[in-house]
Structures are given as structure tokens and as C-alpha cells.
Chain A
């Protein structure tokens, strides 16, 4: 579904991504793990068009998207739930969701998506009139994911959905991510918390200093001594 071919990205002269290649199959749930500053967010930003890659190709459903602006890519069916949520804090929960559904022209589809996300996160339904800025951290993360789902994406990009959340809430969020996957949405998850990510992802890519150092299924990676030591803490 998504194919990234030898992507490079620089911030000024500083290299953030180096020869990244990645392929995501339809209906898969892939995770990119790696330490802080590895380039995980940059990778998602490059895919969703917030940054233009300096070299390389990105194809989505057989079409090149690496030169497109972010709003065009969203309309093609990629939805990026950015790091630190980036909600419209002065707007209500319902309006945030409405903005998420910006590309959706069909009223019926919009209603269906709204019902779907409210079912996924009943808490948001209770608070739909409340301003996004007044929600708790966990609720904000739910809203961010819900907002990203509203455009009915073919591919969902999630950047550190567990950031700054209590373990119990993290668990809840990850349950939902699994559910979204079961509903058939292809997902690329970026996460520092390797344990959580490896639990739900089918393929895991380890990103370090802008390069993919290792990849495989949970079973394969668990055997690697370095993964065990650094990321799983065993």
C-alpha cells in the first residue's frame, strides 16, 4: 500500500533520515521504534507531506506522493495523528472532529464516522461540547486519534500515542489502536515504548540515528540480544 524508497531528509545540514526504505501492506499494523531523536517523527512528517524529502521516492497506492503538500496527501487517504496531539485547543471536541472530517463531502459518511469514533471513545461523546484544551491528557490523545480517523483514512500514521500518559490509560489507547486495525485500517505506529508497540504490531522496524537498523516480527526481534537489553529491558 505504501512504499518508501531510499528516503533522505536533512534539517539544514543535519541529517535526520538516511536511506530509509519501508513497505507497508494493506491492512497491516507496523511499528517504528527507536530512541528519542532517532528520526521517527521526521519519517511520519515526510510521509504526510509536512516535510519534503531531499531524496527518494514515496508511493501510495501506486502513485508518487513525495512532492505533494500535506493537505493533498490527506485527501489521498493518509491521516497523520501528530506528535503531542496538536489539537485545536480553542475549539470544542465536536468541532475538532468536524475539522478531522474536512475532506469528507458526504453527510452520511460523516455521520457514520462520528458514530464510529464516539463508539470507540464514549468519553468524547460525553464531552463533545467541551473545549479541547480543557480535556485531560488521555482524553486529548483519544480526541487526536478520533480526529485523525474522521477522514476515513486508508492509512493511519500515529506518532507516540502513549506520550505522557499513565500506564493504565496507555493500555486503553493501545487496545483501541488494535481495534482500529481489526476494523481494517492500515496503521503505521511510531513509539518509544517498545514493549507496548511490539505487543500489537505485526512488523517492527528499529530506527536509530536516522537509519533502519533492524526489522522483523515480534518473535524475530525478541531473540536479538541488543533489542532485549536496550528496548525491552530484560
Chain B
């Protein structure tokens, strides 16, 4: 019993920590620019495969840490290009933005799928910074995951500091509160949005770097699951609310791990949990638990 509880608590925290990172950026992009970026999950997936591909290249033997730097830079640039090439020209139409980013996510998935590593399950365990585990109440606590949780908390705190204290962070908030007024202050809202999308892609990439070495690359379609779960997190916390996304991430995390551990046939039902959360929250409290704004 105590093992089950430990299992639920640890995995819930782990899932929450991963989704806090992914969902924070996703939520920020919507909050600041009203942009629903459906390729966000694909950024996470693609970072995993970028790491894999580079690790498979002889050049990087002994320089594994460099793959991380490159992967994060590439994914940040892809985020920026998504905004500049696809989203910015279509900003006035919600439908177009949703369809075009849906198309991009689909494209990234297919590109990975037709690559030589597309159809198998892969490990990028070389990038684990910590090996081994410690038994606590009979449950193995994996060190790499503890590292992930700590890093996630640190990143969330740094991010909150950045948004609340730095000049760029403040301009991001200004654009999100009143885009036109921000323009009158001399703030180039388009540029701020570009930075926001790039930051969100970077956060998704960081989450992939922290989580995937301890888990596995389950195929290019895994991006959709992460997208949908992030959406659940953000719907729960309220679009555009940072505290909301972090709280939402942990609620979703614990709900999933609870279902996994305590519900009969848990693992298959656990897939459904986030989707059910989405539907229920959308129907009873569309602004989310922490959001102020009604949906647009």
C-alpha cells in the first residue's frame, strides 16, 4: 500500500514537473498573442529526436553535452520560424493559425517518421546526468527524475522572476494586457511575440532534454499526447496564467498517476484523464480554475 502511495506521489510530481515546463510556454504564447500553437507538442518530440540523431553521429562522441546545446538552439529557432513564417502573416484569423500549426505538427511528425529512426523505440540514456536509484519505503526513486523535478522547479522560479522583474518580461506582460497600448509605448508587439514563441519552444525543448533521457522515444506521434495534455493543463489553470499552468500541471500529474496506480486497468484509462479534464473544465468553467479572462 505504502509503495502504491509512493508510486503515485513520485510519478505525479514527475509528470507535473514535466508538464509545468511544457505548458508554461504554451500558455504564455496564448496569453500574450492569442496564438493557439498546435505544434507545441511537436517541439518536445522533435527535441528528443534531434538529440538522438546527434548522439548517433560519430562527431559528437565525447561531446554529448554539445548535442543538448545544439538541440535547444535548433528548437528555439524552429519556434521563431514558426512564428515568422506561418503565424505572424495569419494572425488575424484564428482558424488559419490553428490549421496551419496543426499542419506543421503533422509535418514534423511525418519528417521524423520517414527518417531512419522513425519507427522504433529509442533511448537517449547517454544524456542521463544521474544514474541509479534509492529505495524509499520500498519504492525506487530514480535519481535522474529527482534531478528533473529540482531543475523544473528552478526553471519555473527563474522564469517567474524573468517575467516579473526583467524589462523584456515586463514588456511581454504589457503586450499581453493591452497590445495597442504597448505599441504606443514603443514596444514592437510582433517582436515580443516572436520572443515569446521562441521561449516557449525552448521550454518545451528543456522539458524534453530533462525527461526523455530517463524515459524513451516512443515514436514521432508522441507529440500529440504532450500537446493534448498541455492543453488540459492550461485549460485547467486558465489560458495565459503562469501560476495556473504550474498548478494545473501538478493537478493533471497527480490525477494521471492516481488513475495509473489505483484504478482497475489504470494505464489505459490514464490516457483518457487529461481529455476528460479538458472536456469537463471547458464545459463548467471555461476560464480555467485560475484564469480571469473568458475565452476568446
Contacts and interface: CB of A to CB of B under 8 A. Distances in A.
A–B contact with Cβ pairs below 8 Å: the answer is yes
Interface of A: 48-50, 69-71, 74-75, 79-80, 82, 86-91, 95, 98-100, 102-103, 147-148, 151
Contacts of B171: 99, 102
Nearest to A76: B186
B178 interface: yes
Given A50-B183, A98-B170, 4 more contacts: A71-B186, A88-B173, A88-B177, A102-B185
B182 interface: yes
Interface in B162-221: 167, 170-171, 173-174, 177-178, 180-189
A100 B174 CA distance: 10
A98 B170 CA distance: 9
A192 B278 CA distance: 48
Contacts of A147: 185
29 contacts: A49-B183, A50-B184, A69-B183, A69-B188, A70-B183, A70-B184, A71-B183, A71-B186, A71-B187, A79-B184, A82-B180, A82-B181, A82-B184, A86-B181, A88-B173, A88-B174, A88-B177, A88-B181, A88-B182, A89-B177, A91-B174, A99-B170, A99-B174, A100-B185, A102-B171, A102-B185, A103-B186, A151-B185, A151-B186
B180 A50 contact: yes
B186 A88 contact: no
A95 B177 contact: no
Contacts of A102: 171, 185-187
B188 A71 contact: yes
Nearest to B182: A99
B181 A71 contact: no
A82 B183 CA distance: 11
Nearest to B188: A71
B189 to A, nearest CB: 7
B185 to A, nearest CB: 5
Given A95-B170, A98-B167, A90 B186 contact: no
Contacts of B177: 88-91
